[in-house]
Structure 1
């Protein structure tokens, strides 16, 4: 049996139609009305089972009207997800049908029917272009009622003759395949396979392209900087900071290591750890999230806990498919601390856009409108967070014309777990790798390599498979599973399925592996071996357990309704091997994999730094109106209220305070998520710092100020600046071979280095994204400083004025002559403010 129904929301329950009407009116003001219907195509149910489910699964008689025929009488069109994109509505319907009928044979496909009154057939095409994002959706043909035919996977492809190609033939091969790695890497790969005396499979080349991508292996940040030049009026300042960096490298015995952006980004943490000033840093082979050890105080006792935090970007996918890109940004951020066995309970969101008020007609070719990206991204991130149950109390959007080149979508999360719940051991020969969570599909194939490339005007039409759709409900199950110490103590090592899918998530988990791709649970049939190896389908985690614990671990997963399968074995071969349909399709040595391709080198020149002119603004009508008209000044209360800020009962500081609830909090504060505790005293504080305007003029000062701002916000909420640990988010244009472009991130990292050394604080993690270019447009030099610290609930304060008669003080800070902060003065102020907050003398900052 196959059936199609149209479900209409009644009256006040129809919230979607008015939203779409508003969107359409932005391009066609004469539109009179819009009506949205949900479409369900149902297959494989008997008439009796369909009758049993139609009034409970697909509709509610109180809020919905069911139509068995197309109800539209005006102009209309229908949409549906592309085959392979995750359809949460259909998935949920299938699960409900299974619960009600006991059958697993039903299949559901969902869609939308959009009826529009007051437009011509010519205008209908304009509406379709506005509503349908071709990366994820297509127009639905209502004349057909069928399930798309399943594709048959292609046979294993071996690139015959590869090892015998001359350089010209190899260059032609390189151009044909659109690899993200460089041609020098392909020469390196050819040399490897010549030593193996065989030709590579298609899968092996795609795995290497993914494994060595900038996204996975930080290729740009690991590039050796050879000839570094400082020019302009900041030369003396840069020389001094750089000399200090070289001195610290010498102290650490790293003189033989290449100078790189990565070395500069990590040297402070290495230095403070070696000198004993980073005593609570947790060091292990699992590096998915920043981890520190803290003392948790609750119900009159103290207990050692791990506090984990992570920032994540999904700039590339959000630019192409905003809802899915932003939702999987949060999902991906959650998975990192989650793979460390932590319960994730705290989140912030920071995004960057151009002019969201510009007309749709001003949209660049090959791009989505800024308003569409911004609105759908907010819907995607908030939808995921609200479904998984993650309190998001800090939501900000930065408006800068540079983000027209590419959207900025950043998520920051915090998780925590008792120290005794975590066991970390090196995988041994004979151990089992279990994959748990969501099934594998084509969504996310090529995401790691795609996000490492510069976007062009064809990207939006050709990259549909690179964007994943998140399934928050599935990840929520894993959150619940890992709240059981009986489960977490079975895990020797864990890795989340982010960029690169099986090839990276399982490929990184041990040096020697045999991976069986036939075992992977699939969303649908027809995936070939390469798609199985590199799909980035969301909500999956790989864990290593002892062979004797395998059945018990899988049993725990089944209790939470989580699919778990043994997908690989740890061996002692020194090779990563993948098998598909009885054929070995990947066989790469660990030494070769870990080489990360050819070593890269580049020159860098810092000559772009401008002197900041801090002219005081005259208070007059013109300046007053100009400042209030700036979108960065406007209230973002409407955006913030899309996010659940209280779920989980850990929120200490609500995002908006004061009598009228319009005073924004400086950051995020939550108590630790201690199960069954009556009174938790320990809190985690988080805040961010960044100014796109300053950084565009001077990336050195911009990065230093970002660190100062993030630290100051923690202090303003009642935190001790000495307990802060940092994590940086770097986002820059595509650097290419231009030394001056390389100077921009170098300048930012030198500014951040100077701030860390002066404060005595370290960035213990970070994320770099180096593809913010579109044609001749570039994102502003972006280094965001995220600050995180533990503290005491009793010391937390909020910024709104408390009562009439309280005195107001301004701590004035004067930058040094070179424009950098006066750190000694700031440290004195931070210490003074913290002590006065603890004493109860300061009540608002």
Structure 2
């Protein structure tokens, strides 16, 4: 404590570290082991504590505090994926990808990210990472370091990829929730959203990485929020695979200093959240500094191309211990903790090893390249320190102040984690059929339209997205917003990463928190198909795509285990049927918040990101209308009664009891193939995949982005399946039951139904659609008009119309109220 007259000479924390202690579990029973695990923020199950206890007896000495800390964080669900391994899900999804034998896949589920072959001997990488726990208790720090961490996953791919795009995806409770309705111990969702936007701007803009997809969603179950970020990168193919460290190689730590921030991040992220978590685990949130990461983002490709890198990885969960332990698993590694640069001199040994301070990476350097690597890093002002060497002992060893504080067999560290069996039992989802009256009058249609447009999921979110740079690097071909006013959501992102070449990388994301309430299994199927269809309608070939999955579930119980297993089995089987592999992902089964006897579970959540390649970015088709007089065609299957899980249903505070039943994989492929054939001949002018907000939102966005309008016939509620010699039903013709259609012909169902896998396209008036869509369901809904308004007709008679400018005012207001 500083005396009143004592001058301040430094702001750096100082003090004396605690001594290394031993932790004996020898005589503890199960209840005592569990209590100790909770008290020390280990959150390890009793089975793991008992394995550590048995190891203590076998080796004839108690473990040091550092050794126990390393073991429990390395075996945490966050690091070891114990839930998925116990249920066999990691193997299930990996085997599905292997079964596809996709010729473009370079790396899947092995490295820090997945990678597919691009053009000209390069590889495009994709990774998604969640930061749910830290973003729930300290949203600015949690979201900022969400971005920093997933960017380092790109940098840690192979021998160092370069990041070319990122996303920010947030799921919270309703930001408009009254203060007294927020669960005690949870932060207000409006605070989380506003701080998340500020954090994304703070981190991604200085990094100089374009924002691809800013997405914000709400659900009453997100008391513990969903905070997801993706990173896409590029790397020469010859550097896409790491080498194994060799005895004598140098462990070089680069980037920021090590501090007390991020302590127990891995273990705290692996458990649920209660009202005391906010205070008890505040130190588990890291502090981000993007300029430090920006420096080594530039330096790493230079080191790579100079032959200085044998392998590298980022320091995320578990810090130095996890990074060095994983890379040295096949050899051994010895660490000198006195060589680690510290922010705080009071850190003890285990804190140095486990700190998750950001902006750090560990590089394996051949000893003969060390001097060159150090010189290059100095050129880019990247701090570095030699903190150890790789050995041939097969052990993780660390010394601190002359004392050996860690001496663990790698075989025990990485091979002894017990997997508790997880029982599964089919849940009973209490579902109720929808009770929504169909609009009859113009006023009722106005109310329906405006409720959908002002819904949080459909409303204009560019007020947030415009704070993030989307064109930095000069590679962006299609950003997240487009049209004449640069506010129309495009639902795709495309860049041309190779200078002077037309080749494109395209990405999409599908994330819907409502569907999982009705059918988690169907949610999984729909998210896959939505992500792929968004890219296909833009002109990308689904046979040249790969996927990334990010799961978020409640704490695992038998019912959750059942649903999670069905979700993974669904996407594994569907990926094989479609021939589109998953190459990376992340799971989090800690989405339960408990407070004052109340338990709030997150909805079963799956976000799917797609990445693909395009031969020419100039051929991409966007959703804004292009020409008055052209026809608007709905291609794909529909069901006007399937409004369950839709935004439209949510505007009535209802969820429903069934989702849109997407057709079999073979039928979906026929739709995609027909679209690709049409695209190859430049035969459609605009297009967008049906998702939240249904056909109506695509009509509004297409008109808003172009300054044109649309006239749509609501009697086209049933799709028509074309056959040789037949023609589609046009506007005003009576509705019959086509093989692609379903339902009772609800007119609001046509407009607001979320027919995942179907698309709305704009085609020239004279195009003979039957030449392209034989065997594929489609309907001509109407036409693009020169007047900037939307009109609905029944049998040719106008039942509702409004100016797009008037609708845009409704659409623009809700998110502004959240963030301003």
Query: Which band: TM-score by shorter chain?
Result: 0.7 to 0.9
- Asked whether 1:158 is paired with 2:17, we answer no
- 1:840 equivalent among 682, 705, 727: 682
- Cα offset, 1:686, TM superposition: 0.8
Q: How many residues align?
A: 651
**SS where residue 809 of structure 1 aligns?**
strand
TM-score (norm 2): 0.76
**SS where residue 719 of structure 1 aligns?**
coil
Question: CA-to-partner distance for each residue in 1:520-557, whole Å, 9 max, x for gaps?
Answer: 11113111111101000111111111111111111111
- Cα offset, 1:199, TM superposition: 0.6
Structure-2 separation of matches of 1:744 and 1:157:
43
- Cα offset, 1:423, TM superposition: 6.0
Question: CA-to-partner distance for each residue in 1:63-92, whole Å, 9 max, x for gaps?
Answer: xxxxxxxxxxxxxxxxxxxxxxxxxxxxxx
- Cα offset, 1:347, TM superposition: 1.2
- Cα offset, 1:175, TM superposition: 5.1
- Cα offset, 1:810, TM superposition: 0.6
Report the aligned-residue RMSD: 2.4
**SS where residue 413 of structure 1 aligns?**
strand
Alpha-carbon distance change, 646 to 615 in structure 1, aligned in 2, over 3 angstroms:
farther
Alignment of 1:677-688 (within 5 A): 677=499, 679-688=500-509
CA contact (8 A) 2:478 2:493 kept: yes
- Cα offset, 1:424, TM superposition: 2.7
- Cα offset, 1:174, TM superposition: 4.0
**SS where residue 180 of structure 1 aligns?**
coil
Alpha-carbon distance change, 264 to 191 in structure 1, aligned in 2, over 3 angstroms:
same
**SS where residue 569 of structure 1 aligns?**
strand
- Cα offset, 1:695, TM superposition: 1.5
- Asked whether 1:583 is paired with 2:403, we answer yes
- Cα offset, 1:148, TM superposition: 7.9
- 1:317 equivalent among 134, 151, 154: 134
Structure-2 separation of matches of 1:417 and 1:167:
49
Structure-2 separation of matches of 1:718 and 1:614:
36
Structure-1 separation of matches of 2:108 and 2:213:
30
- Asked whether 1:807 is paired with 2:631, we answer yes
Question: CA-to-partner distance for each residue in 1:350-378, whole Å, 9 max, x for gaps?
Answer: 11011101233433211211111110011
Question: CA-to-partner distance for each residue in 1:464-506, whole Å, 9 max, x for gaps?
Answer: 2100111111111111102326556321111111111011011
- 2:309 equivalent among 491, 496, 502: 491
CA contact (8 A) 2:626 2:686 kept: yes
CA contact (8 A) 2:551 2:606 kept: yes
Alpha-carbon distance change, 170 to 733 in structure 1, aligned in 2, over 3 angstroms:
closer
CA contact (8 A) 1:261 1:749 kept: yes
- 2:198 equivalent among 373, 379, 383: 379
- Asked whether 1:189 is paired with 2:13, we answer no
Partner of 1:630: 455
Structure-2 separation of matches of 1:829 and 1:617:
32
Question: CA-to-partner distance for each residue in 1:626-657, whole Å, 9 max, x for gaps?
Answer: 32342222111211111111111111003222
Structure-2 separation of matches of 1:495 and 1:516:
18
Question: Gapped runs of 5+ residues in structure 1?
Answer: 3-40, 45-106, 108-146, 225-259, 296-302
Structure-1 separation of matches of 2:516 and 2:34:
39
- Asked whether 1:268 is paired with 2:268, we answer no
CA contact (8 A) 2:109 2:583 kept: no
- 2:393 equivalent among 555, 568, 573: 573
CA contact (8 A) 1:690 1:703 kept: no
Structure-2 separation of matches of 1:285 and 1:772:
23
CA contact (8 A) 2:549 2:609 kept: yes
Alignment of 1:692-707 (within 5 A): 692-707=513-528
Structure-2 separation of matches of 1:550 and 1:434:
9
CA contact (8 A) 1:286 1:494 kept: no
Structure-1 separation of matches of 2:669 and 2:435:
26
Structure-1 separation of matches of 2:231 and 2:207:
13
**SS where residue 681 of structure 1 aligns?**
coil
- Asked whether 1:357 is paired with 2:176, we answer yes
Alpha-carbon distance change, 306 to 179 in structure 1, aligned in 2, over 3 angstroms:
same
**SS where residue 749 of structure 1 aligns?**
helix
**SS where residue 594 of structure 1 aligns?**
helix
**SS where residue 477 of structure 2 aligns?**
coil
- Cα offset, 1:446, TM superposition: 0.6
Alignment of 1:380-399 (within 5 A): 380-399=199-218
Alpha-carbon distance change, 515 to 286 in structure 1, aligned in 2, over 3 angstroms:
farther
CA contact (8 A) 1:437 1:474 kept: yes
Structure-2 separation of matches of 1:833 and 1:172:
60
Alpha-carbon distance change, 175 to 637 in structure 1, aligned in 2, over 3 angstroms:
closer
- Asked whether 1:787 is paired with 2:610, we answer yes
- Asked whether 1:402 is paired with 2:212, we answer no
Question: Gapped runs of 5+ residues in structure 2?
Answer: 643-657, 688-820
Question: CA-to-partner distance for each residue in 1:172-221, whole Å, 9 max, x for gaps?
Answer: 54454342211111111111121111111111111111111111111111
Partner of 2:421: 601
Structure-2 separation of matches of 1:615 and 1:427:
63
- Cα offset, 1:669, TM superposition: 0.8
Partner of 1:710: 531
- 1:435 equivalent among 253, 275, 289: 253
CA contact (8 A) 1:215 1:448 kept: yes
Partner of 2:704: none
